[in-house]
Structure 1
Amino acid sequence: MSIPDPRPGLVVRYSFLWSEEKARGIEEGTKDRPCAIVVAAKLDEQGGVRTIVAPITHGAPSDLEASMEIPAEACRSLGLDEGRHWLRLDELNRFVWPGYDLRSRPGRPGDYVYGMLPRGLFEQFRKAVLERQRTLKGRIVPRD
């Protein structure tokens, strides 16, 4: 399989770097995880695409306003494992697609994609991320 074109709502496997890790001087993500593309915007004529992703985690949020739970049906359609999953609204990574941190799904070499978030869920997610950024309650870690 080849690397897909990035588009908002696409869930890919990515080595996500949390802002607290970056603050401690860590440069590489410590865990590969599903991440949802929030933004995919053409950067230059050479085909670069500025991409912003948000992590999907099993960890129940301590701040309920900083995450949104993914409905079980959407998790199943994405092929995520059992259990509850949350999209983080306050932690984002920014990079030029595909970057160095895109990863293959476990047991599926060359397959980077879980699928698309349902349209309604993605719109709710996008609006919540934008609101977090507008109120300066979100962090973007540059990975370029």
Structure 2
Amino acid sequence: MTDSDTPKIGQVWRYPYLWSHEADAGRIEGAKQRPTAVSLLTTNKEGEDVVMLVPLTTLDPAGNPFAVKVPETELRRAGLDPAVQAWVIANEYNFEAYKRTYYLEPGAHQGQFSSMFIKLVQGKMVEAIKSRKAKGVSRN
């Protein structure tokens, strides 16, 4: 992965997201490529840079207090169709050491959320993690 392909907070990437219920059922691959947002960057115990990706969905996540509706302007910034409603699901995430990933492909970066919007998503994600309602799936 080159520096231009290095994930940055707020970027939107096409990614084979693996939902926690799919991982719980024994799947190791996501069903399809979907837009995901880089929500956090951290370091693991081995000192590797780790990316945390949250999924976007067009299915109404009714009743999920950690879903963030994506405004039309942000959909445009993310390279998505502004005529189609979408939500970021902030209590689900995939995480992996991105320098050894097979899933974040070069050229799969498609857009960028504003810093204000991604901070809103991060706040919901932290809230979900603190309340133990977040589900993370390791991809390494």
TM-score by length of 1: 0.86
For the aligned residue pairs, the C-alpha RMSD in angstroms reads 1.8
Select the residue among 100, 123, 127 that pairs with 1:127: 123
Is 1:30 the counterpart of 2:19? The answer is no
Q: CA deviation at 1:15?
A: 0.6
Other-structure match for 2:5? 4
Question: Gaps (5+ residues) in structure 2?
Answer: none
Is 1:54 paired with 2:54? Answer: yes
One-letter amino acid of the counterpart of residue 30, structure 1: A
Alignment of 1:39-50 (within 5 A): 39-43=40-44, 48-50=48-50
Matching of residues 86-105 of structure 1 within 5 Å: 86-98=87-99, 99-103=101-105
Confirm or deny: 8 A CA contact 2:5 2:107 kept in the other structure: no
Letter of the 1:36 partner, please give it: A
Secondary structure at the counterpart of residue 65 of structure 1: coil
Number of the residue aligned with 2:16: 15
User: Which stretches in structure 1 are left out of the alignment for 5+ residues?
Assistant: 104-109
Aligned residues of 2:53 and 2:95 also touching (Cα < 8 A): yes
Q: What is the aligned residue count?
A: 136
Q: Distance in 1 between matches of 2:5 and 2:70?
A: 23
Question: Which residue, 126, 129, 137 being the options, matches 1:141?
Answer: 137
CA distance in 1, matches of 2:138, 2:79: 28
What letter corresponds to residue 142 of structure 1 in structure 2? S
State whether structure 2 residue 73 is matched by structure 1 residue 73: yes
The TM-score with structure 2 as length reference comes to 0.88
The Cα shift of 1:111 comes to 2.1
CA–CA distance in structure 1, aligned partners of residues 17 and 57 of structure 2: 11
**Which stretch has the larger CA shift, 56-65 or 25-34?**
56-65
